[in-house]
Amino acid sequence: MSERKYTVDSVAPKIDPFLKPLLAQAGFQVKYELAEGESANPDIENPEVVVRFSGADVDLLLANKAELLLALEYITMEAMSLPSDDHSRISFDAQDYRALRIEELRMSAAAAAEKVKRTGQPFRFNPMNSRERRVIHLAMRNETELRSESTGHGGYRQVVIYPAGMASLPEAPPPAFPTRSPRPRDGERDRGRPRGGHGGGRGRGRR
């Protein structure tokens, strides 16, 4: 980024009033510090400000592919009214998760590429956020036999790797959420079931 739009001094007065009370009310034993941006992978992400977390509960932030850390990042950006195009300028991190995740995604992209070359069949990754999809696309940029594209909507967007000459697959529909069966009303609960208990024999004894 040629010119910094955000600095620690300009961002801290906006982040602290939102993030400190939020972490305290949630009961997390974590603390954070703001630092000028730096990245081990500037071609992929090059934030201007990094918010680094530490403390006894930092593993909770990093559980399930840092789901909570990324959620905190997102809602903080929204609370600051940052334009969506500027979200990448501020990055939340802990225990170098971002760099480790990028390396993990690069390895996944390499393995998927080899599989597509070997089988001639497309490979569909699980849904990812835009930053992670970008890692996959950049990892594939020098592949002449393959191409990658994003497909899907909203939180279900994912990357698909194709042989270079293959047409795109139809978009997969988002997963359907199971619907609850309506609870039986009083008087219907035992309809069709012998009143004496299971199987029409004796009722279940007390234990």
Q: How far apart are CA 20 and CA 27, in angstroms?
A: 11
Q: How high is the pLDDT of residue 63?
A: 95
Q: How far apart are CA 41 and CA 102, in angstroms?
A: 8
Nearest residue to 149 (alpha-carbon basis) of 160, 164, 138: 160
By the 8 A CB rule, do 123 and 116 touch? yes
Nearest residue to 41 (alpha-carbon basis) of 142, 130, 138, 129: 138
CB atoms within 10 A of CB 77: 19
Q: How high is the pLDDT of residue 178?
A: 54
* The model's pTM: 0.71
48: Cα separation from own chain's centroid: 21
Q: How far apart are CA 58 and CA 31, in angstroms?
A: 9
Q: Give the tens place of pLDDT for each residue, 7-25.
A: 999 999 999 999 999 999 9
User: Which has more confidence, 138 or 179?
Assistant: 138
Q: How high is the pLDDT of residue 138?
A: 93
**Three-class secondary structure of residue 51 per DSSP:** strand
Q: How high is the pLDDT of residue 56?
A: 95
Q: How high is the pLDDT of residue 191?
A: 45
Give mean pLDDT, residues 83-107: 91
Domain residue spans of the chain? 8-95, 100-163
Q: How far apart are CA 117 and CA 177, in angstroms?
A: 34
**Strands 49-54 and 90-93, bridge-based pairing:** parallel
Q: Give the tens place of pLDDT for each residue, 26-37.
A: 999 999 999 998
CATH of domain 8-95: 3.30.300
Q: How far apart are CA 112 and CA 116, in angstroms?
A: 6
Give mean pLDDT, residues 79-102: 90
Judge whether residue 207 has pLDDT over 80.
no
Identical fold, 8-95 and 100-163? no
Judge whether residue 136 has pLDDT over 90.
yes
Query: Please, where are the H alpha helices in 52-129?
Result: 58-79, 97-119
Calculate what percentage of the chain has a pLDDT beyond 90. 63
Mean pLDDT score across all residues of the chain: 84
Q: How far apart are CA 29 and CA 56, in angstroms?
A: 6
The domain 100-163 having CATH identifier 3.30.1370.50: the answer here is: yes
By the 8 A CB rule, do 99 and 41 touch? yes
Q: Give the tens place of pLDDT for each residue, 151-175.
A: 998 778 899 999 999 999 888 776 6
